[in-house]
């Protein structure tokens, strides 16, 4: 990830959405614990805003390393976010999850419901390198 190429779309206490238009990649970093819909009421519109900055065939890296989870009422919102990514024609998805069996269980459930199948990593650099394997060399 080249910080010079990153465009921060949204940054708040709950998530950071950035885009690298050179790599045609979106980054979603989730943080903290999400108690209610009202705390993250702009999450879906913000994802749509970020996705408009990439083109079909983009990749996405979802980072759960700073995320401690959310209430069950937010399950459908996570699924909707993944469906938006799919509809925008993501080519590959990677997620970074540390050794947290509960978060991993929820991630699997979101994926099963939405159809998005990210490959899981425990290290952001490894996820980034895996996604880079599928870059069109003309983009670099």
pLDDT digits (tens, 9 = 90+) for 28-74: 999 999 999 999 999 999 999 999 999 999 999 999 999 998 988 89
DSSP 32-100: EEE--GGGGTTHHHHHHHHHTTS-TT-EEEEEEEEEEEE-GGGHHHHHHHHHHHHHTT--EEEEE--S-
Q: How far apart are CA 117 and CA 16, in angstroms?
A: 21
| Size of the chain, expressed as the number of residues it contains | 140
Q: What is the CATH number of the domain that holds 43?
A: 3.30.750.24
* Closest-CA residue to 115 (of 140, 84, 75): 84
> pLDDT tens, 112-138?
999 999 999 999 999 999 999 988 654
pLDDT value at residue 115: 93
pTM of the model: 0.91
pLDDT value at residue 2: 62
Q: How far apart are CA 80 and CA 93, in angstroms?
A: 16
User: For the chain, how many structural domains are there in total?
Assistant: 1
Q: Give the model's confidence band at 140: pLDDT under 50 very low, under 70 low, under 90 confident, else very high.
A: very low
pLDDT value at residue 135: 80
Residue 81 has pLDDT above 50, yes or no: yes
- Residue span of the structural domain in which 29 resides: 3-139
């Amino acid at each position: 990830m080249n910080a010079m190429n990153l465009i921060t779309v949204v940054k708040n206490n709950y998530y950071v959405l950035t885009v690298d238009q050179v790599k045609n990649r979106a980054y979603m970093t989730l943080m903290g614990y999400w108690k209610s819909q009202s705390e993250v009421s702009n999450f879906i519109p913000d994802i749509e805003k970020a996705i408009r900055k990439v083109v079909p065939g983009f990749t996405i890296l979802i980072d759960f390393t700073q995320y401690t989870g959310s209430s069950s009422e937010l399950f459908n919102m996570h699924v909707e976010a993944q469906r938006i990514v799919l509809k925008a024609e993501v080519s590959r998805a990677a997620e970074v999850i540390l050794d947290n069996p509960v978060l991993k269980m929820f991630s699997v459930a979101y994926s099963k419901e939405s159809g998005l199948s990210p490959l899981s990593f425990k290290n952001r650099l490894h996820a980034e390198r895996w996604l880079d394997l599928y870059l069109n060399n003309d983009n670099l």
